[in-house]
């Protein structure tokens, strides 16, 4: 069995366990008035589990096209790809999550976007700075003002 089918088999098991939790255990503690709602807290996990099971099944049973195209990944040549960039971005995501409280949302998001674009190879420092600042500000405004979810924009040292 090829690597993609092994991964599909593992994901199928995870989606089945997730689906079991969504269908049989999530709704036990609902209040009586919530049981009459058309959408429950478990609705989205149920949809995700079904989609995951279908997608894993398609790959596992080989129903997708197996023809190798120019853009497909060749698993025998993984060393030719930019693995270190991907690992660097994953590490940066962990650092971003750790730095959200000490640096505030704006600082951590600006740093993540700026350093992420640097890892991916962008070298236009002025453009990266402007785009990172605007994106961090817009996302903070949407989450804080439009959705009403408070996120500390600045570090506590600066009055955040």
Torsion of CA 18, 21, 23, 26, to 10 degrees: -130
Domain that holds residue 124: 83-158
Task: Indicate whether 132 belongs to any domain.
Answer: yes
Q: Are residues 109 and 148 in the same domain?
A: yes
pLDDT of residue 91: 95
Give the CA distances from residue 53 to residues 5, 16, 48, 150, in Å, rounded to whole numbers and listed in that order. Answer: 13, 7, 9, 36
pLDDT of residue 6: 87
Q: How many structural domains is the chain composed of?
A: 2
Q: Are residues 152 and 106 in the same domain?
A: yes
Task: Indicate whether 27 belongs to any domain.
Answer: yes
Q: Are residues 9 and 62 in the same domain?
A: yes
pLDDT of residue 108: 93
pLDDT of residue 9: 92
Q: Tokens in use for 136?
A: 């961090």
pLDDT per residue, tens digit, the chain (160 aa), is 678 888 999 999 999 999 998 888 887 777 777 777 777 777 888 999 999 999 999 988 887 765 656 666 666 777 777 788 889 999 999 999 999 888 889 999 999 999 999 999 888 999 999 999 999 999 999 988 888 878 777 776 666 5
- DSSP class of residue 120 equals T
Q: Are residues 87 and 147 in the same domain?
A: yes
Q: Are residues 89 and 43 in the same domain?
A: no
Distance CA 152, CA 56 (A): 39
Exposure on the CB side of residue 103, measured as CA atoms within 13 A:
15
Q: Are residues 47 and 9 in the same domain?
A: yes
Q: Are residues 137 and 93 in the same domain?
A: yes
């Amino acid at each position: 069995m090829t690597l993609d089918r092994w991964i599909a088999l593992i994901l199928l098991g995870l989606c089945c366990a997730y689906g079991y939790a969504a269908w049989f255990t999530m709704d036990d503690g609902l209040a009586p008035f919530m049981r009459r709602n058309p959408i429950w807290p478990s609705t989205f996990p149920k949809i995700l589990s079904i989609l995951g099971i279908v997608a894993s099944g398609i790959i596992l049973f080989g129903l997708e096209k197996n023809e190798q195209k120019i853009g497909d990944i060749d698993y025998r040549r993984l060393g030719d790809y930019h693995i270190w960039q991907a690992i660097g971005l994953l590490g940066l995501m962990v650092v971003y999550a750790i730095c959200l409280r000490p640096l505030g949302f704006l600082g951590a998001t600006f740093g993540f976007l700026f350093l992420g674009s640097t890892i991916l190879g962008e070298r236009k420092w002025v453009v990266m700075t402007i785009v990172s600042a605007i994106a961090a500000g817009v996302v903070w405004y949407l989450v804080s003002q439009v959705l009403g979810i408070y996120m500390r924009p600045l570090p506590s040292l600066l009055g955040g």
